[in-house]
Amino acid sequence: MRKMGIAVAALATTGILLAGCSSNTPTTPAPSESSAAAIDASGVTLTVWTDANRKPAIEAAAKTFESETGGKIELVQKNFDDIRTDFTNQVPTGEGPDITIGAHDWLGGLVQAGVVSPLDLTDTASNFAPVSLDAFTYDGQLYALPYSLETIALIQNTDLVGEDAPATWDDMIAAGEKAGVDRPVVINTAGQTGDAYTMYGFQTSFGAPVFQSDDKGYTTEVGMGGDAGKAFAEWLGANGEKGDGYISTTVDYDTNNELFADGKAAYTVQGPWAIAALTEKGVKVKVNPIPSAGGETASPFVGVQGFYISSQSKNALVAQEFLTKYLATYEAQKALYEADPRIPAWNDLATEVSSDPVIAGFVASSKNGVPMPNIPEMGSVWDLWNAAQVQIIKGANPASTWDKMVSDLEALIG
């Protein structure tokens, strides 16, 4: 699966996702109306964990906070991959930061460990993409300030199939075959490992979500069983190696990108992290939402990053002030984008950077998307889910293989 934290350095080197940005060095945000009624934080020091990419942008907001409130921001640079473990281990001991950057799919584990506090965005919530707020909501409570999104989308070779978005899988296959290339579409299955993450948009178009949800967020009820799940499994088998052959376990991430870059495939499903590889040989691309295979909207996973407040912070009110009045501003969100160009969660900024058609395509895909489940049980899903898809693609009975996967998963979760 593709996880939050995948490097976007390739995007920056191609310049594709930086159109409309003046530079990669964030400027100091100007004081905004939202920070006009700042609290007196004299004598208070907030410790904020960040990684190297986002540190300069947070420094810019910190300077404004310090000048207006009298408080101090101490930024501690961490390796992003170490933050979740260090935060979970240190907060209960009274150590760790007041605020940390993090991914939304950590949330269930952080809540269960008792290391994060709810956040009240009050009148600023409407500035953020709804999917980003949903991602950081657990049991009906918002726990973090979002700032960026990642998702996958359909990417097509415009010299072969033009720019129009196919509405359905069948429309896409027909257009790809008409182009006369080796493969109408190429999709990464991580080889023999399976990649349910990439396939998820097609699965949701059959009405088979990995977990059910209610008005408080995801539940632990497996949602991909029953007739909808079987219909997806039958479709997967029909398009697999013993069927039409459009989906194959011979295609891993690098093979996928090479076939598309060489002009041997008209379409692929990938994320923004792959744009440089897909276009390195001059292929012109258009990014569109994933087409439906099962009749419903294809909803890929969306990953979100944002800022959590420690449950043990001795300065929780000041920490909330910093997030909601100094990072929840257009200026600060733009600085974060310029430091690390992911899809902005801030609506107006997402609209602005969508002047770049590649970004616009991923933004459009994210609007169809759903947050990757943030419940701890999600960690139990991948091995069984991926393995079942590989077996079906290779020719195993779709219905019985899928049913066994669902029942094994239900037994594992309990």
Q: Does position 123 have pLDDT exceeding 90, yes or no? A: no
Is the pLDDT score of 138 beyond 90?
A: yes
Tally Cβ neighbours within 10 Å of residue 56: 19
Give mean pLDDT, residues 159-185.
97
pLDDT tens track for 249-259: 999 999 999 99
DSSP 188-252: --TTTT--HHHHHHHHHTTT--SEEEETTEEEEEE-S-HHHHHHHHHHHHHTSTTTT-SS-TT--
Q: Beta-carbon neighbour count of residue 121 at 10 Å?
A: 19
Spatial distance between the Cα atoms of 277 and 10, rounded to a whole number of angstroms: 8
pLDDT in tens, 55-85: 999 999 999 999 999 999 999 999 999 999 9
User: Among 95, 53, 98, which residue's Cα sits nearest to residue 73?
Assistant: 98
For residue 204, CA distances in Å to 65, 157, 188, 225 come to 43, 25, 18, 12
Distance CA 163, CA 236 (A): 26
Q: What is the rounded CA–CA span in Å between residue 188 and residue 194? A: 8
Confidence check: pLDDT of 9 > 60: no
Q: How confident is the model at residue 32 (pLDDT cuts 50, 70, 90)?
A: very low
Model confidence at 122, pLDDT cuts 50, 70, 90, reads: confident
What would the pLDDT profile of 330-374 be if each residue is shown by its tens digit?
999 999 999 988 999 999 999 999 999 999 999 999 999 999 999
pTM assigned to the model: 0.88
pLDDT at residue 10 is higher than 70: no
Q: How confident is the model at residue 12 (pLDDT cuts 50, 70, 90)?
A: very low
Mean pLDDT for the stretch of residues 301-313: 97
pLDDT value of position 41: 84
In this predicted structure, the answer to whether residue 17 has a pLDDT above a threshold of 70 is no
What pLDDT sits at residue 340? 87
Residue 175 is encoded by which pair of tokens? 């257009």
Strands 45-50 and 99-103: parallel
* Sequence-separated (6 or more) residues with CB below 8 Å from residue 31: 64, 68
